[in-house]
Amino acid sequence: DAGVTQSPTHLIKTRGQQVTLRCSPKSGHDTVSWYQQALGQGPQFIFQYYEEEERQRGNFPDRFSGHQFPNYSSELNVNALLLGDSALYLCASSLFEGAQYGYTFGSGTRLTVV
């Protein structure tokens, strides 16, 4: 049973560029949440997708957007990259009705903005 899969594992972008990160949820899960983890910090909630809609959003600017596909996979897009966007981006999947009881995290995408 595959867990959460994220791609790519590492990425280097130039300031001002745009980036797309991808996530495939754990089998049986229908909800995807994205988190940003700066070096030495705990993950910070970006947003959550369920039924192809953004259901919850954290304190992140509109440069951060996402999408969920009918197969429950998800993308995170970041426009106009800033140096401060350098972080580990984590995807967590869950079952919406049981979201309190089972978040599974992927290994993340390490984004470096230069």
Distance, C-alpha 86 to centroid of its chain: 14
**35 is an interface residue for another protein by CB under 8 A:** yes
Q: How far apart are CA 51 and CA 99, in angstroms?
A: 14
**67 is an interface residue for another protein by CB under 8 A:** no
**36 is an interface residue for another protein by CB under 8 A:** no
Query: For another protein, which residue of 81, 99, 111, 113 counts as binding (CB under 8 A)?
Result: 99
**42 is an interface residue for another protein by CB under 8 A:** yes
Q: Which of 47, 30, 37 is nearest to 107 (CA)?
A: 37
The token duo for 4 is 């959460």
Give the burial string for 19-35 (b: 16+ CB within 10 Å, else e).
Answer: bebebbbbeebbbbbbb
The count of chain residues that interact with another protein, using the rule CB under 8 A, is: 26
Shortest separation between residue 109's beta carbon and another protein, angstroms = 10
State the residues that interact with another protein by CB under 8 A: 4, 31, 33, 35, 40-45, 48, 55-56, 58, 90, 92, 96, 99-101, 103-108
